[in-house]
Structure 1
Amino acid sequence: MINPKKELFKWGPIDGKPIYVSVFIEPFEIYPRFIDGTWPDLLGYFKDGKVVFIADYPALRKRGLSLFKKYVLKNENLKKHHKDWVKTTKKIIKFENKINKGLLKFSDNELNKLFASFYKLDIDFWLRGFLPELANYGAEPFLQNKILKFDKLNFVEIFEKLSAPEQISFFQKEELEFMKIKLIHDKKKQLEELKKHQKKYYWLRNSYGFTKVLDINFFKNELKNISKKDAEKKINEIKNYVGKIKQEKKRVIKKYKIDDNIVNIANKLAYCVWWQDLRKKFIFIGNHIITKFIEEISKRKKIPFKELSYYCLNEIVELLKENKRVNVKERLKDFVTYYHERKKIKYISGKKAAKLAKPYVEVKINSNLKEFKGTVVSRGKTLMGKAKILLTPRNLNKMNKGDILVAPMTSPDYVIAMRKASAIITDEGGMTSHAAIVSRELGIPCIVGTKIATKILKDGMLVEVDADKGIIRKIK
């Protein structure tokens, strides 16, 4: 078992249902057949529509560093794994096009085979795509230690600049394409391009807990709220982004005389950060495919969608193949998935799950704290603003321009809110977390790993963010 008294890694809590998240852990048992290493023990806890994953942090770093040295620092290994992964993503896109035409025409037997083939494809996606994430957990502290020994005083600037990916993110790509549509003068042509955009990016607001198809009206409304001047500005920013990143890297390397070994490690880490972020595009498309299947299966098996969302994907395979049903009554209250290295994954429900998870998720706080600290991952001037607590991206509408976004952690479904923020604060995360990467893209201050921000701060509270020292102060 994971020792709750040790330093713990936490991913979440974030919107999450077993049906969308389980495929991430189901390949754990077979990772060693594909790669020399796998995750250490990992506990996933589902409660009230959210999920948090917990692991022993030192064990995770050790495992990640081993993979980073063996499979990432050696170019031939990295290229092979990425090439295989890209092949799988192309198959997912083909599957997406097939599914979007509808499932009604398929017989029960055909539907069973179709889902089984998708399940295998999704497993393949994770078998080849888990490498950058796990490697990052070891590579980040590895690079940190190298830089701290080299130049402790300028650590944040050096790490921030060197670890920045030299490719635009899929969200930047979507935004660039969208802004170009705004500049089309011919209204008919503009509408045609907007329809193509909708078909390509309807999944943008999907998450690990729910999916939503964004229709053409969503994109029409978004287009109305953008001026041509702002569109031109954003296009120039994104087009110049990669060049600016490369220029800043050269400046920092020259200014601090950074050796080639550190630069090489940083470049490989930056590549893995980009790859890990790109995965989310296909995860969200995959979750859309899962939703389409579950909607159809719900009708045919007469099982409510909500109940099926608490099945794991392998259990859907068994449901279709052998009509093997799962009683999820207790899962809906509390559900734990526990992976013990190289052994089968255990599923625990109800009171037993709650008892097992309790020591890992309880956090003792002093609500009278006037200030607290975190890790600076994107520097900026000290500023003040109203805190907005977003425990879920579903509440992003309460974010106003200039507010300070406070969240347990961020994921791609938070990006719309992040674009409005003057600063970002999270409970969890590190130098290569989603919040860190996006805040740097946006050029706004970000402090992560506070552990307590969402519990100490309240909606509307005036907060000061010192993104030089990593201090958050309650003003009133």
Structure 2
Amino acid sequence: MAKQNLIKKISERRSKKYKPDWVAKGHLNYEFFTFWAAAKSYQIQMPKAIGFPFNYKYENLDAIYDQNNINEHVKKLSHLKFIKRNINFIQRQIDYLILASKKYGGKKDLNSFGSWYKVFQKFLPSFGLVLGLEEALEKKVKNFLSNDDFYKIAFAEETATSYEQKSILRISLLKRNSRQFNKSLKEHLKKFDWMGNKLMTYTPFTKADVISRTCPAGEAKRKLKEMEENRNNLGKGALEVYKKLNKKQLELVSLYRKVLSLRTDRADAVAQAASLTYSLFDSLANELNLKREELMRFSFDEIMEMYKTEKILDSKKRLKYHAVSLNEKIKVFWGNYGEEEKKINKKEIRGVVACKGYARGQVKVIIDIPDLIKVKTGDILVSSYTNPNMVPAMERAVAIITNIGGLTSHAAIVAREMNKPCIIGTKIATQVFKDGDLVEVDANKGVVRKLK
């Protein structure tokens, strides 16, 4: 009977009557290589993990999922054994991707490329699986936690972002251009340069990037102290909640916090893979007389075909695209990102409080990576979503506002680590505000008001 129901659901999903419930869950300039790999992975690998494929869409730089798929996944997670199985699967795939990237990343042959890609495809369902895990566990823990207590436990283990920030502050304590300063700078880049990458696009942090983020020693001492105090306060708040919970409740909270960590870990793993496989991708691009960024405008199959036929496709036509993977078919539209967002005339918007506080400042709207340079110290960063390579701009901002995301989103986790006012899930912030708007961010009530 269960098998018949599954076949019926798949048939309905493939029929023309089926209507996906599209919901944006992320925002990034996806290189086509990674979008195609993810879309195919959701068709082929996802059924192996949970029994059915995921629909997927990319438009206006948003990663858009079918909420019906997520809801179906949540139903499957009614028992803890399925939750644990999914969590273990994601952790294994993260580990395998890093290992494969180390193993094949320094090689220059097609076989190594193919072997690495197989691991990459098996890893990619992790992005979709986390969404269902987050919703399922959030419902479970909210059954016994008050809103205040939920807020206290909804933060991840210390992230790579936090460690990287502390490293820069410690470098700031050293005498500029001294032997120890230069040594520490080199060690920092060796450990954290991958954080500048956007997915598989190789744009690592440079020496100049790190130096630009250093500050006077007195300020560095103050910030390090504030970070430690904030981390301790987060831990104390969580401990207060743990003392009130029974064994079963503690297990659920522990699993939920593990999912919070996995949400950042999976994105970090791709960025690390981009650095570890730099030589492999660079050599493939050179063989085809392409730059690395041009190579990333093609799918794995297209790259392999170009090698076989020696016919090089025109990468210039692929600067922009939007695409949809629905009913196990993928349609790609080249030339633009889809319909442009329409501006909305409102003075006030509301969202979910990710980190409490209050701030006033000028808005800087971030649509894509080149916009990050606009953010100056004291600005309000407004974006659809945030990613690890946006951290330098988040450091300069006094508050962070996003369209997309819940309490497990990158913006929420990093804002709590930075202790900066943050409101997420506004849906329309980038459509309401423009660069230069003076706004008031009341992250105690979840309100952003335009002052002028």
- Assess same fold via TM > 0.5: yes
Which residue of the other structure, out of 55, 60, 63, is the alignment partner of 1:41?
Answer: 55
Offset of 1:270 from its aligned partner?
A: 1.3
Which residue of the other structure, out of 113, 121, 131, is the alignment partner of 1:137?
Answer: 131
Offset of 1:461 from its aligned partner?
A: 0.9
Offset of 1:467 from its aligned partner?
A: 1.6
Which residue of the other structure, out of 24, 30, 42, is the alignment partner of 1:16?
Answer: 30
2:155 pairs with 1:164: yes
Which shows bigger deviation, 434-443 or 138-147?
138-147
Q: 1:450: which partner in 2?
A: 426
Which residue of the other structure, out of 73, 83, 92, is the alignment partner of 2:101?
Answer: 92
Number of equivalenced pairs: 437
Q: 2:66: which partner in 1?
A: 56
Offset of 1:147 from its aligned partner?
A: 5.7
Offset of 1:366 from its aligned partner?
A: 3.6
Q: Classify 1:408/1:289 alpha carbon distance in 2 versus 1 (closer, same or farther; 3 Å).
A: same
2:217 pairs with 1:228: yes
2:379 pairs with 1:403: yes
Between the aligned partners of 2:81 and 2:326, the Cα distance in structure 1 is 23
Between the aligned partners of 2:359 and 2:435, the Cα distance in structure 1 is 17
TM-score, length basis structure 1: 0.79
Structure 1, unpaired ranges of 5+? 100-109
SS in 2 for 1:459: coil
Q: 1:433: which partner in 2?
A: 409
2:363 pairs with 1:372: no
Between the aligned partners of 2:271 and 2:78, the Cα distance in structure 1 is 26
Q: Classify 1:280/1:227 alpha carbon distance in 2 versus 1 (closer, same or farther; 3 Å).
A: same
Which residue of the other structure, out of 288, 300, 303, is the alignment partner of 1:313?
Answer: 300
Q: Is the 8 A contact 1:39 1:60 kept in 2?
A: no
Between the aligned partners of 2:445 and 2:408, the Cα distance in structure 1 is 18
Letter of the 1:10 counterpart: A
SS in 2 for 1:204: helix
Between the aligned partners of 2:399 and 2:301, the Cα distance in structure 1 is 40
2:264 pairs with 1:277: yes
Q: Classify 1:464/1:120 alpha carbon distance in 2 versus 1 (closer, same or farther; 3 Å).
A: same
Letter of the 2:238 counterpart: K
Between the aligned partners of 2:404 and 2:17, the Cα distance in structure 1 is 19
1:222-371 matches, within 5 Å, as 222=213, 225-239=214-228, 243-254=232-243, 257=244, 260-288=247-275, 292-303=279-290, 307-323=294-310, 325-326=312-313, 331-340=318-327, 343=328, 345-350=329-334, 366-367=344-345, 369-371=346-348
Offset of 1:248 from its aligned partner?
A: 0.9
Q: 1:103: which partner in 2?
A: none
Offset of 1:450 from its aligned partner?
A: 1.5
TM-superposition CA deviations, 1:363-384 (whole Å, max 9, x none) = 66642x121222222222x432
Structure 2, unpaired ranges of 5+? 1-12
Q: 2:116: which partner in 1?
A: 118
Between the aligned partners of 1:8 and 1:427, the Cα distance in structure 2 is 15
Q: Classify 1:285/1:21 alpha carbon distance in 2 versus 1 (closer, same or farther; 3 Å).
A: farther
Q: Is the 8 A contact 1:112 1:321 kept in 2?
A: no
Which shows bigger deviation, 301-310 or 465-474?
301-310
Percent sequence identity over aligned pairs: 25
Q: Is the 8 A contact 2:104 2:113 kept in 1?
A: no
Offset of 1:347 from its aligned partner?
A: 3.7
Q: Is the 8 A contact 2:386 2:410 kept in 1?
A: yes
2:166 pairs with 1:176: yes
Q: Is the 8 A contact 2:403 2:427 kept in 1?
A: yes
Between the aligned partners of 1:205 and 1:143, the Cα distance in structure 2 is 31
Offset of 1:334 from its aligned partner?
A: 3.3
Offset of 1:324 from its aligned partner?
A: 6.1
Q: 2:39: which partner in 1?
A: 25
TM-score, length basis structure 2: 0.83
Q: Is the 8 A contact 2:201 2:296 kept in 1?
A: no
Q: Is the 8 A contact 2:29 2:368 kept in 1?
A: yes
SS in 1 for 2:426: coil
2:76 pairs with 1:66: yes
SS in 2 for 1:464: strand
Q: Is the 8 A contact 1:21 1:208 kept in 2?
A: no
Q: Is the 8 A contact 2:402 2:427 kept in 1?
A: yes
Q: Is the 8 A contact 1:64 1:134 kept in 2?
A: no
TM-superposition CA deviations, 1:352-405 (whole Å, max 9, x none) = xx7xx96xx6766642x121222222222x432211111123222221222111
Letter of the 1:162 counterpart: I
Q: Is the 8 A contact 1:330 1:349 kept in 2?
A: no
Offset of 1:294 from its aligned partner?
A: 4.7
Q: 1:203: which partner in 2?
A: 194
Q: Is the 8 A contact 1:463 1:475 kept in 2?
A: yes
Between the aligned partners of 1:120 and 1:350, the Cα distance in structure 2 is 26
SS in 2 for 1:435: helix
